[in-house]
Amino acid sequence: MTTDTLRDQPLMPHLLIDGLNRYNDEPCLFLGDKVASYRDVRESTSQMVQALQSKGLGVGSKIAVISANRPEVLSNIAAMQINGCIGTPLHPLGSLDDHAYVLEAAEIDTLVYDASVFEELAAALKQKVPALKNLLAFGPTELGDDYLALAATFEPKPLVAPDISPDDIASVNFTGGTTGKPKGVMSTYSVTSYMTQIQLAEWEFPEDLRMLIATPLSHAAAAFFIPVLQKGGAFYVMQGFSPDEFFDMVEKHKITCTMLVPVMMYFLLDAPRSGTADMSSMETIFYGASPMSPTRLIEGIEKWGQIFYQFFGQSECPMVIANMTRKEHDVSKPQRLSSCGRPSPWIHMSLRDPDGNEVPAGEPGEICIRGPLIMKGYKDMPEQTAEAFAGGWLHTGDVGKLDDEGFLYIVDRTKDMIVTGGFNVFPREVEDVMATHEAVGQVVVIGVPDEQWGEAVKAVVVLKPDFEASDGLVAAMQALVKKAKGSVQSPKSIDFVAGIPLTPVGKPDKKAVRAQYWEGSDRGVG
């Protein structure tokens, strides 16, 4: 704790305790046929707090979590925060080697896992990572302790915030990264607290808040925990995502709010029920994590109304760099739908050139940020941290430009830019044009090795149902881009695939897509 506590801000543990204490018998969490009230979640959180403490875990303890969506995940997130533990989520679809790397890099000594799904993985990690000393399972386990049974041995007590300071580390989240090993982003308690304040000030939450969680609770969904609690809302949790189950839950529970990544939206829009399901209760669909095709966004607005709200951020500066409100999703201004909204007034943002100078108005530049929202740094990576903070700004790696109304457009990732025959091609611009073709469900554009040009532009496309690959379709798509952007941007080749790999937060994994084309090449691209 800092010596001068007079001006200390409320941090996530304080906000969690306050939110859980505000209500008693009102519903807080629906999962399957189970309904947990605010009192239930508060009491189970207290029991988990005590269970962790009985294992010697408290301020600064490093805990990783891997689980399917189940109610205990939220109580455990709260318990870890209220104990002052440093949390690291593991993605349910990650590989054994990836998980082992994260556990070692984050110096994890405790693994919390869903025994019904990840018992074998936990056993493999225990063998592979000798530093793992505590294994706590949601349910019966052969390996470690049954966390839930242990928690049940304690009587619920009032929740008490830990002795922490704003600059202490609350979580270490690993970025997929476009090059090299994933980097551990160290976020402080003040970062998550400030992010939440901006969410509560800016984001358009429905008054009657029934929030459907369709993404992993351990990742982006957890960022909605405090706003929903503070507003007395309830979570409705999907155990796995499918369009039919999504529409069923919206209709059954009169869902008013959800958060989706763009690829989920595409699945919903292409589903047979997209035009017949009753979505009339839905007031806000938050979306982010990767750019949304403007063409598909117009489809969504025409089907379900002006209910979309976009957020933009990254692990190093989470979720609230820019926001685009429901009203700003205006189909009469279709060009704006490729924007990510206006920069938040609660941070400093500047577009800068490679030498660190601010670019002229209307020109593209790297999005650079200053303010309380920025990470402490990358864990044990001083050189990468120094590079990210060069010139006293956080360099996001995203190239953006501002229009004359102050809307921010992400041109592309700096590392995704394709250099072909000396010309720069930004994949995002090509993807937006290709997405206007009636056959395109999803598209990723990458650079691939080319002896003559260095790199050639390639599109990897998932077709919508009822369309089949053909030479004619390839030619039509190439002509579409050539007409809109010129011959340099037009893909030299197009591959049709059944699906595009995703990163843990639901972005198209361009690194994985690229890898298959650059394998065996003398040089790779980031």
- Indicate if the pLDDT at residue 488 is higher than 60: yes
- Cα 492 to Cα 427: distance, rounded to the nearest angstrom: 13
Is 201 in contact with 178 (CB distance < 8 Å)? no
Percent of the chain whose predicted confidence (pLDDT) is above 70: 95
- Indicate if the pLDDT at residue 509 is higher than 90: no
- Among residues 191, 214, 231, the one where a domain terminates is 191
pLDDT tens profile 462-481: 999 989 999 999 999 999 99
- Cα 84 to Cα 162: distance, rounded to the nearest angstrom: 6
Number of domains in the chain: 3
- Cα 504 to Cα 143: distance, rounded to the nearest angstrom: 26
Is 159 in contact with 82 (CB distance < 8 Å)? yes
Looking at residue 2, its pLDDT comes to: 45
Within a domain: 480: yes
Looking at residue 417, its pLDDT comes to: 75
Q: Which long-range contacts (CB under 8 A, 24 or more apart) does 322-327 make?
A: 322/349, 322/408, 323/202, 323/203, 324/407, 325/204, 326/204, 326/284
- Indicate if the pLDDT at residue 222 is higher than 90: no
Distances (CA, A) of 85 to 62, 147, 222, 471, 512: 6, 16, 16, 56, 32
**Residue 82 sits in the same domain as residue 146:** yes
- The encoded tokens of residue 193 equal 């607290």
**Residue 285 sits in the same domain as residue 167:** no
pLDDT tens profile 60-103: 999 999 998 888 898 999 999 999 999 999 987 778 888 999 99
Please, what is the end-to-end C-alpha distance for the chain in angstroms? 41
Is 495 in contact with 460 (CB distance < 8 Å)? yes
351 confidence band (pLDDT: 50, 70, 90): very high
Q: What CATH number does residue 493 fall under?
A: 3.30.300.30
- The encoded tokens of residue 102 equal 């994260």
**Residue 61 sits in the same domain as residue 168:** yes
Looking at residue 450, its pLDDT comes to: 80
- Residue 392 has what DSSP assignment? G
- The encoded tokens of residue 216 equal 């992993």
Q: Which amino acid would we find at residue 479?
A: A
- The encoded tokens of residue 188 equal 């402080």
β-pair partners for 113: 66, 137
**Residue 151 sits in the same domain as residue 258:** no
pLDDT tens profile 390-399: 999 999 988 8
- Cα 346 to Cα 224: distance, rounded to the nearest angstrom: 19
Whats the size of the chain, residue-wise?
526
Within a domain: 206: no
- Name the helix (H) or strand (E) containing 374: none
Within a domain: 422: yes
Reported pTM = 0.83
Sheet-wide strand order for 308-314: 34-37, 27-31, 234-237, 210-213, 257-260, 284-287, 308-314, 317-324, 342-343
- Cα 213 to Cα 230: distance, rounded to the nearest angstrom: 17
Within a domain: 380: yes
- Indicate if the pLDDT at residue 444 is higher than 70: yes
**Residue 455 sits in the same domain as residue 374:** no
**Residue 426 sits in the same domain as residue 388:** no
Is the alpha carbon torsion for 80, 84, 90, 91 positive or negative? Answer: positive
Looking at residue 416, its pLDDT comes to: 77
**Residue 36 sits in the same domain as residue 182:** yes
β-pair partners for 257: 211, 284
Structure-model confidence comparison of residues 423 and 368, the more confident one = 368
**Residue 92 sits in the same domain as residue 141:** yes
- Cα 289 to Cα 220: distance, rounded to the nearest angstrom: 9
pLDDT tens profile 122-168: 999 999 999 999 999 999 999 999 999 999 999 999 999 999 999 99
β-pair partners for 37: 27
- The encoded tokens of residue 300 equal 């969504």
Looking at residue 254, its pLDDT comes to: 98
Structure-model confidence comparison of residues 82 and 523, the more confident one = 82
**Residue 26 sits in the same domain as residue 145:** yes
Is 454 in contact with 421 (CB distance < 8 Å)? yes
110 confidence band (pLDDT: 50, 70, 90): very high
The full 3-state SS of 399-465, as one line of letters, equals EEEECCCCCEEEEEEHHHCEEECCEEECHHHHHHHHCCCCCEEEEEEEEEEECCCEEEEEEEEEECC
- Cα 313 to Cα 26: distance, rounded to the nearest angstrom: 32
Within a domain: 403: no
Task: Let me know the angle formed at the C-alpha of 317 by 411 and 110, rounded to the nearest 5 degrees.
Answer: 130
Name the least confident of 35-44, 67-76, 401-410, 490-499.
Answer: 67-76
**Taking residues 333-352, what's their average pLDDT?**
94
414 confidence band (pLDDT: 50, 70, 90): low
508 confidence band (pLDDT: 50, 70, 90): confident
Q: Hey, how many other C-beta atoms are within 10 angstroms of the C-beta on 150?
A: 18
- Cα 471 to Cα 494: distance, rounded to the nearest angstrom: 10
- Indicate if the pLDDT at residue 178 is higher than 50: no
- Cα 375 to Cα 85: distance, rounded to the nearest angstrom: 17
pLDDT tens profile 319-328: 999 999 999 9
Within a domain: 22: yes
Per-chain mean pLDDT for the chain: 90
What Rg value do the Cα atoms of the chain yield, rounded? 23
**Residue 24 sits in the same domain as residue 153:** yes
Looking at residue 1, its pLDDT comes to: 46
Looking at residue 524, its pLDDT comes to: 35
- What does the DSSP assignment read for 253-296? HT--EEEE-HHHHHHHHHSGGGGTS--TT--EEEE-SSPPPHHH
Within a domain: 400: no
**Residue 143 sits in the same domain as residue 261:** no
- Name the helix (H) or strand (E) containing 366: strand 365-370
- Cα 205 to Cα 226: distance, rounded to the nearest angstrom: 12
Is 215 in contact with 7 (CB distance < 8 Å)? no
Looking only at the bridges linking them, the beta strands covering 365-370 and 348-352 are antiparallel
- Cα 46 to Cα 75: distance, rounded to the nearest angstrom: 9
Is the alpha carbon torsion for 418, 420, 423, 427 positive or negative? Answer: negative
Looking at residue 179, its pLDDT comes to: 46
- The encoded tokens of residue 499 equal 């699906």
Q: What CATH number does residue 151 fall under?
A: 3.40.50.980
Is 230 in contact with 354 (CB distance < 8 Å)? no
- Indicate if the pLDDT at residue 522 is higher than 80: no
Looking at residue 3, its pLDDT comes to: 52
Q: Is 343 left (phi over 0), alpha (psi -120 to 50) or beta?
A: beta
Looking at residue 208, its pLDDT comes to: 96
Q: Hey, how many other C-beta atoms are within 10 angstroms of the C-beta on 275?
A: 10
pLDDT tens profile 268-292: 999 999 999 999 999 999 998 777 8
Looking at residue 525, its pLDDT comes to: 32
- Indicate if the pLDDT at residue 361 is higher than 70: yes
**Residue 36 sits in the same domain as residue 166:** yes
Within a domain: 328: yes
- Cα 395 to Cα 384: distance, rounded to the nearest angstrom: 11
Residue span of the structural domain in which 441 resides: 417-518
